[in-house]
Amino acid sequence: MIEPNKTVSFQFIETQGELLRFLDETDKATWIGCDTEFISEGRYQPDLCLVQVSTELGDYILDPLSIHDLTPFWERFCRDDTLAVTHACRSELEFCFRAVKRMPSKIFDVQLAAAFVGFGYPLNFKSLADQTIHVNLEKSETLTDWSRRPLLSSQLKYALQDVCYLWKIVESLQRRLDAQKRTDWFQREMAEYTESLKTAFTEEGWRKIVGPTLKTRTELATVRELWRWRRERAIARNTPPHRIMRDDLIVALAKRHSADPERVAVTRGLSGKPDSPWIKEICGVIQRATSLPEDQKPRPMTVNYPVYKVASQLVHLLLTQYCQKRQISPSLVMTTRDVREAIALRQGTLPKGEKARLRTGWRAEFLGDFLDAVLDGRYAMQIMGDLEENPLRLIDVGELNAKSVLDVKESDP
């Protein structure tokens, strides 16, 4: 392993033969730490430029730009007898999933684990290394063009820092998880997060751009078909989808209910005359969407229930302080929407089939009793003490016949 500002010891893997020898050398490794450097600007999918690897057998840097096929590495990364170690694993798992259509069965993401033992979430790697193992990492190459060759030794050293400390951090966090009896919670959340990524990597994302004003199946079909058409064009050109057509323009075209070139061409943000190939192509997509049989058009998925705005804010505040005092990151535990869904479930207004996240899994185990007490009105609040970090003190009202201050008349004593 390396120390900041000291000589870096690693193997640089840049041929297919070297990759196969590396895999033989690390065949008995029980864990593999992985990080990636890539360029995503101006592309449909990011270009992988570097893979940094650390195991108990040594540290390595793989060069995807010169290695013919990285698939054998990703297969090794996914092996059931190996723990995959990452920080903020989404990018690494996406590259892995794109290559071999699966992910590691055992993952220890240090960013996620840190959230379970009182660190902020999400926490960058420099801060995490500093707070867990007291290593101050140098971050001087954040704007490096990782596609350029040859890479400088300073760039390689910088890249390697993101993996060569991973295991020390794992050991530090695992001790804390065990001490706080949260290892099981972390493992369950890790598995749930991995499954959510699989869904994100495979499902169509057109519903994410559907606004509240789109209600008919024809409108939804138009959005879906335009989204698919845009994706195909973006892939072919290797460019971000929004450069083909912005989300708001897709929604606007769906709301127009027209495949008439004259009407489509006047949409602000679209360039082209009614008789241009570009406008005609868009109109063809819209016509195809509107002509679909009704049973082939998507159904609305609107979930309507009271937002409980004030109650959600108050309960969120109480739950945040509850989490902070028990050394778990509030942003990991919940969002405002999660709180709103929990309240709706309690009030009987959550639509059938919807689940309240705070009422399932480890979150229910952690928050359940306290959340019940809050919603039952069993606490009175007092502002006191540390107004920055812990401003509220909760008092159990017990059998006290509490009277709302908002109901007290000015004449009352």
Residue 399 binned pLDDT confidence (cut-offs 50, 70, 90): low
Is residue 3 pLDDT above 80, yes or no?
Answer: no
Query: Global pTM?
Result: 0.91
Residue 5 lies in a domain: no
Residue 6 lies in a domain: no
Q: State which of 202, 224, 249 marks the end of a domain.
A: 202
Calculate the alpha carbon distances from 130 to 120, 133, 169 in Å. Answer: 13, 6, 10
Q: Do 25 and 123 have their domain in common?
A: yes
How many Cβ atoms from other residues are within 10 Å of residue 335's Cβ?
13
In this predicted model, what pLDDT tens digit does every residue of 353-388 receive, in sequence order?
Answer: 899 999 999 999 999 999 999 999 888 888 877 777
Cβ atoms of residues 11 and 23 within 8 Å: no
The region that residue 257 occupies, defined by phi over 0 for left and psi between -120 and 50 for alpha, beta otherwise, is: left
CA 47 centroid distance within chain: 20
CATH number at residue 382: 1.10.150.80
58-62 and 11-13 strand pairing: parallel
Q: Do 49 and 162 have their domain in common?
A: yes
Average pLDDT of the chain is 92
Residue 404 binned pLDDT confidence (cut-offs 50, 70, 90): low
How many Cβ atoms from other residues are within 10 Å of residue 297's Cβ?
18
What is the mean predicted confidence (pLDDT) over 83-100?
98
What is the distance between the alpha carbons of residues 338 and 357, in angstroms, rounded to a whole number?
6
- Per the structure, how many domains does the chain have? 3
CATH number at residue 60: 3.30.420.10
What is the mean predicted confidence (pLDDT) over 165-188?
98
State the pLDDT at residue 357: 97
Question: Of 151, 2, 1, 139, nearest to 64 (Cα)?
Answer: 151
In this predicted model, what pLDDT tens digit does every residue of 252-303 receive, in sequence order?
Answer: 999 999 999 999 999 999 988 999 999 999 999 999 999 999 999 999 987 7
Residue 413 lies in a domain: no
Q: Do 170 and 234 have their domain in common?
A: no
Residue 380 lies in a domain: yes
State the pLDDT at residue 406: 53
Cβ atoms of residues 312 and 343 within 8 Å: yes
How many Cβ atoms from other residues are within 10 Å of residue 1's Cβ?
16
Of all residues in the chain, the percent with pLDDT exceeding 90 is 82
Q: Do 211 and 138 have their domain in common?
A: no
The kind and range of the H/E element at 36 are strand 31-39
Is residue 125 pLDDT above 80, yes or no?
Answer: yes
Q: Do 333 and 366 have their domain in common?
A: yes
Q: Where are the beta strands (DSSP E) in 41-143?
A: 47-55, 58-62, 83-86, 107-109
Cβ atoms of residues 195 and 258 within 8 Å: no
Residue 4 lies in a domain: no
Question: Of 190, 16, 14, 45, nearest to 115 (Cα)?
Answer: 190
Q: Do 41 and 188 have their domain in common?
A: yes
The kind and range of the H/E element at 334 are none
Is residue 199 pLDDT above 70, yes or no?
Answer: yes
Q: State which of 145, 175, 202 marks the end of a domain.
A: 202
Tokens describing residue 372: 């019940």
Residue 253 lies in a domain: yes
Cβ atoms of residues 108 and 84 within 8 Å: yes
In this predicted model, what pLDDT tens digit does every residue of 312-341 receive, in sequence order?
Answer: 999 999 999 999 999 999 999 999 999 999
What is the distance between the alpha carbons of residues 180 and 183, in angstroms, rounded to a whole number?
8
Residue 291 lies in a domain: yes
Q: Do 128 and 193 have their domain in common?
A: yes
Q: Do 169 and 80 have their domain in common?
A: yes
Is residue 44 pLDDT above 90, yes or no?
Answer: yes
Tokens describing residue 20: 């196969």
Q: State which of 202, 225, 244 marks the end of a domain.
A: 202
What is the distance between the alpha carbons of residues 190 and 194, in angstroms, rounded to a whole number?
6
Question: Which structural domain range is residue 363 located in?
Answer: 309-407
Cβ atoms of residues 197 and 93 within 8 Å: yes
Q: Which residues pair with 49 in a beta bridge?
A: none
Is residue 4 pLDDT above 50, yes or no?
Answer: no
Residue 225 lies in a domain: yes
